[in-house]
């Protein structure tokens, strides 16, 4: 039974790694050239600090997720993994929040500030960003589930002890 639980946890961590890695790759490859009223411009993720933050946060969590895959199940470092899961879940949550806010402005614009939507001029760029945000959101959900599982695993034996 313990091997089945370990294999299931490994597969979920592998899915989290795949989600964050794919979010990183898709965001890093998002760029498009367009012209509007005889003016050429290029849209790419590195021009927006929120998208850079999202890409860097997902890259950091991808490296962490890859390293945790090789951690032995008997290691005492798993208690540290719980704390790191919390930190990286918060990092992913904040990065996707910032990126979603900018993506919304790019799609809808802001008439009060005078910002025009750009997704009509650069639809491939917006599709890439949308794909990266979907993969990042899946990664956040998986890491939240991993965090809840880890907290249950560590705290449950402590709560069941009777004085």
- pLDDT for the residue 145: 94
Q: Residue 49 burial by CB count (10 A; 0-12/13-18/19+): exposed, middle or buried?
A: exposed
Residue 138: which domain range? 1-31+43-160
Nearest to 135 by CA among 44, 50, 8, 17: 17
- pLDDT for the residue 157: 62
Domain annotation covers residue 38: no
Do residues 126 and 106 lie in contact, with contact meaning Cβ atoms separated by under 8 Å? yes
Q: Domain count for the chain, please give it.
A: 1
The two tokens of residue 67 are 């390293």
- pLDDT for the residue 146: 92
On whether the pTM is more than 0.75, the answer is yes
Domain annotation covers residue 118: yes
- pLDDT for the residue 12: 94
- pLDDT for the residue 56: 96
Low-confidence ranges of the chain (pLDDT < 50): none
- pLDDT for the residue 72: 84
- pLDDT for the residue 161: 58
DSSP assignment of 97-149: HHHHHHHHHHHH-BTTTTBPP-TTT-HHHHHHHHHHHHHHHHHHHHHHHHHHH
Domain annotation covers residue 36: no
- pLDDT for the residue 158: 57
Element spanning 18, H or E: helix 2-28
Domain annotation covers residue 145: yes
């Amino acid at each position: 039974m313990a091997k089945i639980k370990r294999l299931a946890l490994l597969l979920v961590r592998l899915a989290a790694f795949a989600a964050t890695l794919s979010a990183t790759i898709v965001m890093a490859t998002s760029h498009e050239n367009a012209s509007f009223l005889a003016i050429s411009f290029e849209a790419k993720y590195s021009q927006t600090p929120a998208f850079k933050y999202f890409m860097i946060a997902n890259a950091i969590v991808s490296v962490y997720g890859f390293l945790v895959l090789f951690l032995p199940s008997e290691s005492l470092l798993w208690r540290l993994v719980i704390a790191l899961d919390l930190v990286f879940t918060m990092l992913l949550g904040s990065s996707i929040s910032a990126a979603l806010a900018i993506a919304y402005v790019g799609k809808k614009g802001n008439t009060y500030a005078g910002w025009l939507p750009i997704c009509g001029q650069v639809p491939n760029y917006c599709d890439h960003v949308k794909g990266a945000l979907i993969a990042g959101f899946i990664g956040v959900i998986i890491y939240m589930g991993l965090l809840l599982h880890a907290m249950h695993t560590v705290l449950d034996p402590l709560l069941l002890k009777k004085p």
